[in-house]
Structure 1
């Protein structure tokens, strides 16, 4: 676990269920938030590069968003990222030119998306649980990037 209490793990699990009920909608929301927060990040994603807006019902967009959320969720409930996965993620982030500030943009968009999906269940505790988990994933990837 990413240093989460049992309560925080339960919150992440519950909100994961809310997210996955309509993941196509939430993946679109996530990428819309990313682009609103930092428009230049579009160029890091082939399916957004050169487009003026985030495409709806795009399988690549949904797959990418699912990777981000699923990795964060799995880190929350199960602990460390497998070494081959970490090496691959770190390598892709280096190749794409991801920098420190990009991790904060993704975190902000992720937390806004969790809040949107949670609706009335949203709480500061839920926000903190996802933030702690995402921070753990980000640190692992950034450490992997430094090792390349």
Structure 2
């Protein structure tokens, strides 16, 4: 099921607000994730052995921006494309990397909640149940696509050895 026309409008409207400060919102997203799930720090090689405050880590900042843009842009394009619009090679890499670091359904739930709270904070009074539903639906579609690719990567792994 693709987003409805109304959901698409809400997502695009809020994305315009988010685009005004992607570095700030993307970092807030990742700090929220680590606040809710502190062990997430260990999933990132550039944070694992670092005593540095995460928000001061330039590798985290760069990674956060990349993930935030990819997530938001894939949700924005969902209605137009009818599915998650991420190139096959990128999706394969996402599945492989997420599988390798041990990402589970629970991790996707943590990120979902952190994403929704970050968007809510960014858009302020424009936030509504409908907007939350639109972003939630879009994120769920992206998470399902990555989880499916993780399964493919997992099934292919024994054959590669």
Q: Under a length normalisation based on structure 2, what TM-score does the superposition of the two structures give?
A: 0.81
Of structures 1 and 2, the larger Rg is shown by 2
Q: Which runs of 4+ in 1 moved over 6 A?
A: none
100, 123, 135: which one aligns with 1:95:
100
Partner residue, 1:46: 45
Q: Which runs of 5+ in 1 are unaligned?
A: none
Deviations 1:57-86 (A, max 9, x none): 544323322333322333233333321111
Q: Which runs of 5+ in 2 are unaligned?
A: 154-161
Partner residue, 2:88: 83
Length, aligned pairs only: 147
Shift in alpha-carbon separation, 1:106–1:54, aligned structure 2, 3 A: farther
Report the Cα distance in structure 2 between the residues aligned to 1:35 and 1:21, rounded to whole angstroms: 24
Relative CO higher for 1 or 2, CA cutoff 8 Å, sep ≥ 6?
Answer: 1
Report the RMSD for the aligned CA atoms in angstroms.
Answer: 1.9
Shift in alpha-carbon separation, 1:62–1:35, aligned structure 2, 3 A: same
Shift in alpha-carbon separation, 1:53–1:28, aligned structure 2, 3 A: farther
